[in-house]
Amino acid sequence: MPFRFIHTADLHLDSPLRSLAMRNGDLAELVGDATRQALIAIVDLCIDEQVDALIIAGDLYDGDQTSMKTARFLASEMQRLHEADIATFIIRGNHDAMSRITHELILPPSVTKYSGRAEAINLSRGDLAISVHGLSFANTHAPESLLGKYHRPTPDCVNIGIMHTSLAGAAGHDLYAPCKASDLHGWGFDYWALGHVHVRSQHTGERMVIMPGMPQGRDINEAGEKTVTLVTVNDDRSLTIEERATSVAQFERIPVDLSSATTWREAAELIEQSIGAARDGTRSPHLVGRLRLTGATPLSWQLRRDHDLLLAETEQRAEGLGKTWIEKIEIATTAPTGTPVGGASADPVLELGELIRSDIIHQHGVREAVRDLVKDLRDDLPPDARGFSGDDEAAFEALVDHLLTEGSEDMLARLKPEASEIN
């Protein structure tokens, strides 16, 4: 008789909204509740698939979580699994180690919460003997590998290990319990259920080592469809791996080329077509899109100047597609080279634009002034809000370049005379 389980991690329940651009109240409500809805979807999947267990490989919570509403919600979902005779195995990750309710919450007896000391739980399914190994973060930081603390494989069992680790490192993630995938393969467990890195990956080798990614993105930097991993341990001890979608709201970057647009209506229609194509390719119930408009078009300055009108028009068209939201519009269009945007043979604003691009923004004093402004703003913010300035000097300088270029274009757009009408 096969043994089947769902493997997930990094739910970050009730994670606070991280995008200041999300000013649409209905959208903020959708995203704010998405992590809960993802857990509900996972529990529904466990029950529908009649699995034997759910494995949560860390970061069930999001930091110093003190909300008893979160605790009650989690307890009710674990109770649903308990009543369906589905076991749950949970380890604490770095975020869970900060949570007060991690240690205090009482869950049904079918839930195993591993401590900071390695433990193996043995169970059986028909003729299959299963050993589930786990080890929780005792503190918020784990600078050394935890692999050596795990028990060796239990003889004559299918061994499943649960670990919260950054492996050898991943972009956007600090090092936590670092180790090599090759070391995990060599430990002898049949399956490693990992957590911490929010992007799904499967590390090939003698054994099965899977990072499932998070089941629900929280902002545009966690874009794409999110899933959990459904694992079947067959009677011959072979493993079958499947991905199952769980994200309620799917973030996507949507590029729109406006090179062919000469009127406002044409631009709006091209934008709607691009959103529609993204909607058609989205399996999650809701699409949350960030548009990036590119291309050389005579509408470039008008799009920048009337950004609020463009956003309103785009949101209305997205609403007509159903369960489609616009999180932000980035405008990176340019005016056609040599074309007087205002129609005059000698446009002073156009000439000023050429001067700014070719000379002014490259002057040392101008660049230093912008750099100082960014540094002052960054230093005034709390540490966890300073990420916008990049992780190194190169990223910071790239931000300054972006601000100089985009700021200049926005300023020029507002210098153009108001159009008598929008086509």
Q: Is the pLDDT of residue 97 over 60?
A: no
Residues 208 and 354 in one domain: no
Q: Is residue 374 part of a domain?
A: yes
Mean pLDDT of 306-329: 95
Q: How many folded domains does the chain comprise?
A: 2
Q: Which domain holds residue 16?
A: 3-245
How sure is the predictor about 379, in pLDDT bands with cuts at 50, 70 and 90?
A: confident
Residues 356 and 400 in one domain: yes
Q: What per-residue confidence (pLDDT) applies to 223?
A: 95
Q: Is the pLDDT of residue 422 over 50?
A: no
CATH number for the domain including 182?
Answer: 3.60.21.10
DSSP letter (8 states) at residue 207? S
Lowest mean per-residue pLDDT among 124-128, 158-162, 265-269:
124-128
Classify residue 51 as exposed, middle or buried by CB count within 10 Å of its CB (0-12, 13-18, 19+).
buried
Q: Are strands 53-57 and 3-8 parallel, antiparallel or unpaired?
A: parallel
Q: Is residue 221 part of a domain?
A: yes
Residues 301 and 221 in one domain: no
Q: Is residue 153 part of a domain?
A: yes
Q: What per-residue confidence (pLDDT) applies to 264?
A: 95
Residues 92 and 74 in one domain: yes
Q: What per-residue confidence (pLDDT) applies to 20?
A: 46
Q: What per-residue confidence (pLDDT) applies to 177?
A: 83
Residues 187 and 272 in one domain: no
Contact partners, residue 290, CB within 8 Å, separation at least 6: 220, 251, 252, 253, 254, 326, 327, 328, 329, 330
Mean pLDDT of 74-102: 83
How sure is the predictor about 423, in pLDDT bands with cuts at 50, 70 and 90?
A: very low
Q: Is residue 420 part of a domain?
A: no
Higher pLDDT: 303 or 409? It is 303
What would the pLDDT profile of 137-174 be if each residue is shown by its tens digit? 876 667 788 899 999 999 999 999 999 998 986 655 56
Higher pLDDT: 34 or 372? It is 34
Residues 174 and 80 in one domain: yes
> Dihedral through CA 78, CA 80, CA 83, CA 88, nearest 10?
-30
Mean pLDDT of 39-56: 98
Q: Is the pLDDT of residue 95 over 70?
A: no
Residues 241 and 263 in one domain: no
What would the pLDDT profile of 176-193 be if each residue is shown by its tens digit? 788 899 999 999 999 999
Q: Is residue 366 part of a domain?
A: yes
Q: Is residue 157 part of a domain?
A: yes
Q: Is the pLDDT of residue 98 over 60?
A: no
How sure is the predictor about 393, in pLDDT bands with cuts at 50, 70 and 90?
A: confident
User: Where is the domain boundary, 207, 226, 245?
Assistant: 245
- What whole-number percentage of the chain has pLDDT above 90? 58
| Sign of the CA dihedral with 178 first, then 101, 48, and 128 last | positive
What would the pLDDT profile of 327-352 be if each residue is shown by its tens digit? 999 999 988 875 544 444 456 766 66
Q: What is the mean pLDDT of the chain?
A: 86
How sure is the predictor about 419, in pLDDT bands with cuts at 50, 70 and 90?
A: very low
Q: Is the pLDDT of residue 107 over 80?
A: yes
Distance, CA of 60 to CA of 66 (rounded, Å): 13
Higher pLDDT: 300 or 380? It is 300
Q: Is the pLDDT of residue 103 over 70?
A: no
